[in-house]
Amino acid sequence: MLIILTALFVTALLCPLIFRALKRNGFYVVAVVPAVGFIWLLTRMPAVLSADNSLANGAPNAPPSVQMEWIPGLNIALNFRMDSLAATILLLILGVGALVLFYCARYFKNDDPQIGGFAAKMVAFAGAMTGLVTADDIIIMFIFWEITSVLSYLLIGFSQALITARRSAMNALIITTLGGLVMLAGILMLGAAAGSYQLSEIMASADALVALGTFTDVAVALIIVGAISKSALVPFHFWLPGAMAAPTPVSAYLHAAAMVKAGVYLIARLAPGFAETALWAPMTVGIGILTMLIGGYRALKQYDLKLILAFGTVSQLGFIIAVFGFGTPEAAFAALAMTLAHGLFKATLFLSVGIIDHNTGTRDIRKLTGLGRAMPILATTTGIAAASMAGVPLLFGFVAKEAVYEAALHLDTGWSLAALIGILLGAALTMAYSLRFFFGAFGVQKKKLPALQCKAPTLIFLAPLLVLSAATLFLGLYPQLVEPLAIHWSAAQGGPGKMHLLPFAGFNAALGLSAISVGLGLCFFWLRHRTDTGAPLRRMITSAEEIYRMSVNVLDKAAIWITGRTQRGSLSFYLGVILVVVLVIPLAIALTVYTPWPSNWIIADHPAQLLIGAVIIAGAVIAITAPKRFMAVLMVSVTGYGMVAIFALQGAPDLALTQLLVETIVLVSFVLALRALPKRLWVGLTKIKWGRAILAISLALMVVYIAIAMMAARTEARISLAWPDLAYYDGFGKNIVNVALVDMRVWDTFGEITVLAAAATGVASLIFAGRSFGNRVRAHHVAPGSIDAGSEAIGTKDSKETELRIARRFASSSNQDWLMAGNTLVAERRSIIFEVVTRLMFHTVLIMSVYTLLTGHNTPGGGFAGGLIAGLALTIRYLAGGRVELSESMRIAPGMLIGGGIALAGLAGIVPLLLGDGIFTTYALEFWFFGEHKFVSSTIFDIGVYLVVLGLVQDVLRSLGSEIDSLSEGRSPVDRHDEIQASRTGVGR
């Protein structure tokens, strides 16, 4: 199952390439992956049906499973399990998924540029649902749960130009994510009480958990909230009809066969163990039946074919969850059969609506007439599916509904009769809106309508519908093919007794109830037809959707109010708020608990520390009194370089090296940014803002106080004492700091480089996004001999052409030596000495950066330091040659370096999983090459860090260097883009 899961996500990554080559025919290629998975699943059915669902993974005769460690410290593992419930849902995910992808090849236009991304999201969604239903770790299941929400948002909002699609996508995301967060709280409570986050182990200890009483009741109720929000039950039901703004294949797959089944799956998973909790029946049976009735009634009010199906889906989902909520073996048996039947007929109906809309241009039943004659095959397949939904005999929907009636008749609770009546009325409404859908689509209206310009769909377009309708008909005649799955799952709750799936079970109570529901449905349809005036439905109460919109409006107004009073555009205000919080909360905690105080004080370990401390203090004092920004920046750097000396004296060469490099890069960045800021600062004691001064001094004293208290409070041995052995024997390195970064604390480092990437992207976006294309900033003095010579001012067409031509000549000419782009600088900015030094140092510094990277596992250095050193080499080249030389040296875009670095670091963690080890496991390879050497696999992760840091420095130079240079010279972003492209492609040679 792990191979299928991986194949789906890999296919999603390859979709853009596939569709670039094959256009819409690429859907045929990607449909093969879920189709192969479906075939593989069929081959695994004997193993699934011979296993015992109640056994935990690893036990003899337990269901097939795959187990891999992921985060052992949090007791989270990549455990996947294939029992009969997961197999049934997976039949829909893979089988219907393959058919829907096949259908898309004729639904979309061949030249649609978005279909590659659409296919990638659809296949990734299939992968996420596969992971969700097979995950035995409940935390992993939740991760896949949220991935489906994100992908659903992207798919619903596929038509980005339509505001309805964007709004519907956002509504679906907010509601399902909110429900997911509520569910997460319940998951954590249940896992903590069980002592495990493995679903199989939680279910095995369900009796003990139920005995806890209120705690478990609340935990299960929170999980149910997440399930009913995902499956669009009342009061969350309104997001599903809104999601019909998505393309029809999305509706057929996500909102009929896959995504909405996630909540059904979770209720079915928990029912065997937690159906006896206090809130289970009201939240599953009560809300389920209420949803069935509301959805069915609302379906009878719709004129859009997709909305009829959407509200019908809401009704059916409430029906299925209510039956699972009964918590009996018979109910589990019947509900699983109904789940499979619903996926087959509802996917068929949605796909048929797609063909009608595609071929006629409308879904409004008031405009459709005579399609039955124009599209006879489509009418037949759709009629089979609609009849199955309505519960007509000899179809699988009828067989499953008969089983539901039998389960309801076997109930022995105080609410049994109410549940039976609710299901009967819901089934009658289902019959009514099934008739409304079919005759609305294919019937002939009495009033004359303009003839529709439509043509019959091709056979290949109809093929998925034919397969699904044939399956519905075939399983209606031979339900014994899927009966073992339902029996096997119901065994987890004690077995279904004598219940079976039969085409005709004889003249019994269930058949009588079916007849009553059909008769009532015909009456509802006839009455609805007689009273269908098109007038809006009158309601005495506020709908759930209106409550949601009012809540969102209140939040919007509150956000505007808070934002208006906090987001003032003042950096000092924002920093003050942050520092006040940092001051108050830790200090309050420190003052309310016992705080030890050291008895022995050591002023300094070395006399040089006193001198360095004095220099740091002097630098800080001068920085806050400096009259100019440049002096202030230099003095701040003095404090940083002072810390370098402190680290070196304390025997921390790695920290000293990293601090030295960081301080240098920060200094350069500040100096580059200063060119866009005023030169002078406020100074003088009379201008000091004492509130800020008091806050700064208080914060400093608080940090010193807490640091002293923490050092004095130590009672246990330092954990760092064990790090040398861990670094050498487990991480295979002698440099403890670097081994900690790339091995022992690798997750921290991975998070940090991700933050670095986000920061780099944010800085670049802030700088570049504010510049309007084509604007000219200002004219400036033209120095003789510069690239601007021959034109009086920047901003004219002639000057631009002259400038670009000369820039290309210096940047691209094959006759020029390295670093000749310095000739593009005005004379007063050139330094021959600096150019000579750059020629001598640039390559040496780059080699040093690579050396620092590769030797960092055993000597001071590593990927972070190496990346900073390489960044300094680029900085030197930029300062010597200017922005044209920088663009010449940046052959790989910063974004590619940062993204490639994160991908490489992630790959270093994923590969061990494929080898059967934990994520980010480190391997050592010893070899001989002119001496004994050792290569450690974590070096690959370090190379990723190196690339991220190098890309970050490039982004800083590009944003604070080249961009400000260009603005000061009056170039527009369009001109700068052309110039960089010319320097890279050699245009004009």
Rounded to the nearest 10 degrees, how much is the dihedral formed by the CA atoms of 569, 573, 575, 576? Answer: -170
User: Both tokens of residue 118?
Assistant: 């659409």
pTM of the model as a whole: 0.74
CB-CB contact of 808 with 988 (8 Å): yes
User: Both tokens of residue 623?
Assistant: 């920085």
Report the pLDDT value the prediction gives residue 42, as an integer from 0 to 100: 94
Residues 6+ apart with CB under 8 A from 198: 56, 57, 77, 79, 136, 137, 138
Burial of 193 (0-12, 13-18, 19+ CB in 10 A): middle
Rounded average pLDDT per 10-residue block, the chain, 989 residues: 89 92 92 95 91 78 84 80 93 94 91 89 94 93 94 90 87 93 94 90 91 93 95 91 90 85 94 92 94 92 92 94 92 94 94 90 86 89 94 92 91 87 94 92 74 78 94 93 91 77 84 90 79 53 82 91 82 85 86 78 85 92 85 90 92 90 90 80 59 86 86 82 88 89 89 86 68 39 37 41 48 52 67 84 92 91 92 89 78 86 91 83 81 84 93 86 71 48 42
Local structure of 538: helix, strand or coil? coil
Amino acid, res. 500: H
Cis peptide before 235 (omega within 30 of 0): yes
CB-CB contact of 254 with 240 (8 Å): no
Q: Name the residue among 265, 571, 281 with its Cα closest to residue 416.
A: 281
Tell me the C-alpha distance between 515 and 767, whole Å: 70
Using left for φ > 0, alpha for ψ between -120 and 50, and beta otherwise, residue 674 falls in alpha
| Residue where the block lists tokens 């790090």 | 723
* H helix runs in 890-972, sequence order: 894-914, 938-956, 963-969
Amino acid, res. 458: T
Q: What are phi and psi of 201, to 5 degrees?
A: -75, -35
Report the pLDDT value the prediction gives residue 969, as an integer from 0 to 100: 64
HEC profile of 663-715:
HHHHHHHHHHHHCCCCCECCCCHHHCCHHHHHHHHHHHHHHHHHHHHHHHCCC
Q: What are phi and psi of 684, to 5 degrees?
A: 100, 145
Report the pLDDT value the prediction gives residue 987, as an integer from 0 to 100: 40
CA distances from 770 to 23, 287, 323, 564, 956 (A): 37, 51, 57, 22, 16
Report the pLDDT value the prediction gives residue 342, as an integer from 0 to 100: 94
Report the pLDDT value the prediction gives residue 541, as an integer from 0 to 100: 65
Local structure of 77: helix, strand or coil? strand
Count other C-beta atoms under 10 Å from residue 366's C-beta: 13
User: Both tokens of residue 129?
Assistant: 């649902």
Q: What b/e readout covers 431-454, taking b as 16+ CB neighbours within 10 angstroms?
A: bbbbbbbbbbbbbeeeeeeeebeb
Report the pLDDT value the prediction gives residue 532, as an integer from 0 to 100: 58
